[in-house]
Amino acid sequence: MPGVPMRLTSATVLCLTLMLIAGCSASGSECAWVKTIQADPADTMATKRQVLDHNDKVNEFCRSR
């Protein structure tokens, strides 16, 4: 019965793919969960750079939507 595991695997992959597609389309806006963040004065310069990079990406990709 080598064909049975393959059918189960194919069916599982199909179901998971359909669930993922439905989950993505139901979210409304891909940027609904994204927010800019604030650096803390105690953060290192590297962390502050990462915060700035994050905020730049939010502004670039989400503010125009």
Is the sign of the CA dihedral 18, 16, 13, 31 positive or negative? positive
Helical spans, DSSP H, in the chain: 3-25, 45-62
Q: What is the pLDDT of residue 52?
A: 96
What dihedral angle (degrees, nearest 10) is formed by the CA atoms of 46, 50, 53, 57? 170
Across the 65 residues of the chain, what is the mean pLDDT of every consecutive 10-residue run?
Answer: 60 74 58 90 96 94 73
Q: What is the pLDDT of residue 57?
A: 92
Q: What is the pLDDT of residue 3?
A: 54
